[in-house]
Amino acid sequence: MTIKKIAITALSLCSAPLLANVQQSTEDWPDLSDPRAVYSSVSIAAGNDGVNLSATYGGYLNGLYKHKFTVEAMNDLEYYNVDYMVINANTETGFALESTWSRDNWKIDDHNDTSVGIFTKIPLMGNQLNVYPKLDVGMIWGEDIKTTTYVKLDATTRYSIDHMFWVGVTPTYTYAMQGYELNEWEVTFDAGVQLSEAFSFVAHIDDDLDFSFDVVFTF
């Protein structure tokens, strides 16, 4: 019995540092659930609308500011997104320039969309719950639509279950100020698992029941 107690005690003493190191290593991982996090990556997604391909370059502009440039081919090369973002690393606020080309959306065929927006991060519950509000002003144009200006507000929200698992929701409201009549609410739900500091898997579904599964590799 004494030998058993000694063995259990020795095992506990040996395993405790290992478990602590595993927990510490996950705490040091970059937060891939953060939609404003800056890193370079490639990703591939598949869903009921087809395959999406994405490539991102991210890095520092100087000591305070980081930037990220993303190119995406969506829905089996049906349309394309080109986005650029700058963020202040201290305040976690910034601006984004976003564009979409040759998309069919809102019952409008083959239109283009360009916007500029500002965003910030609101940490809650000791950074376990984070809200990322963003306000955009944009313009839609194309052969089948007169030029339309709009405002868009979204509030991406992420809840970290632990250092690996997270869930989220993004409600979005778009209102056209002139041109094509737009007064739309959309909601997307997300769930993800970060398996290492450079690899994550994410599932999405929106209020139209369109879904996709992303595999993301960072470097």
Q: Is 9 helix (H, G, I), strand (E, B) or coil?
A: helix
Quick one: CA torsion of 116, 117, 118, 119, rounded to 10 degrees? -140
Considering the entire predicted model, what is its pTM? 0.82
What pLDDT is attached to residue 26?
A: 60
Domains and CATH numbers, the chain: 31-218 (2.40.160.40)
How far is Cα 96 from Cα 88, in angstroms, rounded to an integer? 12
The answer to whether the beta carbons of residues 144 and 111 sit under 8 Å apart is: yes
The confidence score (pLDDT) of residue 21 equals 43
DSSP state of 6: H
**pLDDT at position 16:** 47
pLDDT of residue 122: 96
For residue 137, the number of C-alpha atoms closer than 13 Å in the C-beta half-sphere is 3
Distance CA 154, CA 133 (A): 6
Give SS3 for 93: coil
Instruction: Provide the pLDDT for residue 27.
Output: 63
* The predicted structure's pLDDT at residue 105: 78
User: What averages of pLDDT result for each successive group of 10 residues across the chain (219 residues)?
Assistant: 43 43 58 91 95 96 92 94 96 96 81 95 94 97 89 97 94 94 95 93 95 95
Residue in 143, 136, 141, 210 with CA at minimum distance from that of residue 175:
136
